[in-house]
Structures are given as C-alpha cells and as structure tokens.
Homo-oligomer: A and B are copies of this chain.
C-alpha cells in the first residue's frame, strides 16, 4: 500500500524547495520598506520624511561612525557581521543579497549595504569665522558638489554655505561622490545675499579675471565663494566679494571644472597660511 504523501520521506527536490523558502523568509524585504527607501531618492519625500538614504560599503560605514541617527541598514550578512556589534542597538537590520541591494538603491552596483538615517540639525556658520568657510553659488552637478564636500573635508573645512539652487546635499549622487565626507562637513543652505551681507571679514571669489592665486601674499581666513559651473558667481553677489582671485590659465581649455577650481584654490589658501 502506498504511503500517504504527507508521510513520505522528503526527496531532494522538496528539500531544495524548503531551503529556498526558508532563505526567502530570512532575506525578504517588505514591499512597504522598498517603497519607502525608493521614495527617498526624491527630494520631496526626503524633506517630508526628514530622512535620506546612503549607499555603498564606504559611505554606510562612515555613516555608522558619525553622529547621524541611523534608523535602518539593509545589508549582506558579511557587512552585518563586521559592523553590527559596534553600531547603535536601535538600528533595524535587514539582510539582503546583491540583487536586492541593487534593485532598491539608485546605483547599478552596490554589493554590501544601504542605510536610512534621519537628517540632523544644521548649524549656521559664524559670519566672523576665523577658519575658511566655503560658499557655493548654485553648484548644480551632484558629482561636483560631492567632490567639493570631499575636498573641503580633506583640507579640514567644517562649514559649507550653499544657495537654495545648489543641488540637494542628500541627493544620492552627491553622497556617493562625497565618499563619506558629508558626515563631517556641516552644509548650510540659505539665501546668499543675506548671509554674505552679515559677513565681516574677507570674502574671496573666483573670477576669470581675478588676481592670480599664486601671487597672493597672506590671505586672512574668511569666506571663499565658488560660482556656478556655467555662469560663475551671480551678479548680485559681486558687491560682497572683497578679493577676486583666479587660477592662471596656461593652455587651451576654456575653463576648469568647478570642483577642481575649488580644490586648487583651497590648497593655495591653506599653503599660504602655513
């Protein structure tokens, strides 16, 4: 007499299915969670939720080490094993495989982690700063903004003031290019005319026909204004610039990339104070 199916010993196929089902249960990320994370790719929802997403091993690692409040981490088992013990215990950890991470995030390849954190209070930089403060007048390219944040952090700057038209710092491409430096640099969005009108010290500004940065003698630390990629510093801000500076052109290129110009000028300003 044949045995009842329920009573049959598990064959290989069933065994495989069972393991797969268990695996799916463990790794399953709810649709609501995916929808929430994906919504944070848009500024509108980031503002509404006061949350943002950070992608990739390096950026998530830096985020976990920072004073940002991280609410959830979606990651591989390897990533969790490495960072779980050191992280805040209130974080919601969800395991995921490569395929899932790639489909939730905004980049094609993210092989280890993605995190959601709360935005934090932004500090208004002092208008009488005795350290260099960067002022960005409508930097539109997310890669440029991220690279500027990374470079400012390399040179030890802690404050960047940005115009309302500058790309949102929590844009995934900005965070990606900043390589974790967004965790250490305070970025303050404001109306630049109002902000600069209260500044008392020197305000350096990049102009094609400014003084060669190599000829400066001993600049006083103050504010450095970087103009938009296409049109430079906007006309209404010109009256606040106390010193127009430039990087001397020796070859044929019409201009330097805005992030590159920022880095070269910062390097010179810092060299001149040594």
A17 to chain B, nearest CB (A): 40
A247 at the interface (CB under 8 A from B): yes
Contact of A143 among B143, B152, B155, B247 (CB under 8 A): B143
Q: Counting CB contacts under 8 A, is A28 at the interface?
A: no
Asked whether A184 is an interface residue with its Cβ less than 8 Å from the other chain, the reply is yes
Please pick, from B157, B184, B256, B263, the residue contacting A154 in the complex, using a CB distance under 8 A: B256
Residues of A within 8 A of B (CB): 58, 143, 147, 150-158, 177, 179-181, 184, 214, 247, 249-257, 259-260, 263-264, 267-268, 270-271, 274
A109 to chain B, nearest CB (A): 13
State the CA gap A153–B251 with chains docked (Å). Answer: 5
> Which B residues lie within 8 Å of A156 (CB)?
250-252
Please state if B249 and A154 are interface contacts (CB–CB under 8 Å).
yes
- On chain B, the residues within 8 Å of A247 by CB distance are 154, 267
Q: Known contacts A267-B267, A268-B267; is A251 also within 8 Å of B214 by CB? A: no
